[in-house]
Amino acid sequence: MPTVSVNREQLFKRLGKNYTDEGFDELCFQFGIEIDDIVDDPEKGVTYKIDIGANRYDLLCIEGISRALNIFLGREKIPLYRLVPAKDSLQYKITVKPNTAKVRPFVVGAVLRNLHFTQQVYDSFIDLQDKLHQNLARKRTLASIGAHNLSTKNFYPFFYHGKDAKDIIFSVKLYNSSWISDVPIRLYLYRKIIRGDKNFFTILYREKIPLYRLVPAKDSEQYKITVKPNTAKVLLVAIDPLRKNIMLNALSSIYSYCFECYCKPFKLENIFLYLN
């Protein structure tokens, strides 16, 4: 059962009411979740550690918990999500090469346009991806998800295909914050979660632009999402077709409210997939 840590002050602000610890524990009980622990940190404030049901992937972050509780309390209506055609079919087209079937044959995606994050929401966005990887995707062995910044003037099409590790050039940030750039990768830590040929990786890239995602391991630093306004492309590749859809729906729907004021919330743009 996953445990989600949420700041009490931030949570109550989203709920529009301050509860006592006992009162909030009772609300959680009525809703069907449970407070596992309450941690009082002098710097970070009070944190609730909330146990979430194993099948409630929509509750793995403060945004999901607060939205569900607000709907439960009658403070919000159930969101009506809308899928609309992409504004630029070329930019949001992914050409899928047949050799990806050797490793991760399924790829799906969505576009969240004009995202506006605060630092807290950005941190939650990254943390949710990690929780989905650790739980539903079984530590990336069944699926991996990434969000990429499309706020660029380059409108080259996307490709998803496989390559031998010795032929891949990538920029990766190491644990000591130093950089290895444009050198052949040696991803020993990730080979244990690759099925089949351990030297064969699937990659996502744009024509005439350096590789920006190595599946299932890393996203390129050049194209990662930041706190600044973004148009985000959420991409997911997987072995399991059911889990890929659950993960994509969870991440894209939860944060589809983060549009700037003139954009309608809960609107997603689709991705065009072409087999080649």
Q: What pLDDT is stored for residue 263 in this prediction?
A: 45
Name the one residue in this structure whose structure tokens are 């509860």: 19
**Do residues 60 and 4 touch, judged by C-beta distance below 8 A?**
yes
Q: For residues 107 and 94, is the Cβ–Cβ distance under 8 A? A: yes
Task: Report the amino acid identity of residue 183.
Answer: V
Set out the domains of the chain in order of their start, with CATH numbers: 3-72 (3.30.56.10), 82-275 (3.50.40.10)
Q: In 152-192, which residue ranges form alpha helices assigned H by DSSP? A: 188-191
CB 57 within 8 A of CB 236: no
Phi and psi at 251, nearest 5°, equal -70, -45
Give pLDDT, residue 179: 40
Q: What is the pLDDT along the chain (276 residues), one digit of tens a residue?
A: 789 999 999 999 999 999 999 999 999 999 999 999 999 988 889 999 999 988 899 999 999 999 999 999 999 998 888 777 777 666 677 888 888 887 788 888 888 777 778 888 888 888 998 899 888 888 888 888 878 777 655 555 678 888 777 776 655 544 444 444 444 444 555 556 655 555 677 777 766 555 545 555 555 555 677 777 666 767 777 788 888 889 888 888 887 776 544 345 666 777 766 665
Q: What is the pLDDT of residue 261?
A: 40
In sequence order, what are the beta bridge partners of 43?
none
Q: Do 21 and 36 form a contact (C-beta atoms < 8 A)? A: no
Give me the residue label for tokens 């991803």. 187
**In the structure encoding, which two tokens stand for residue 124, read together?**
């939650």
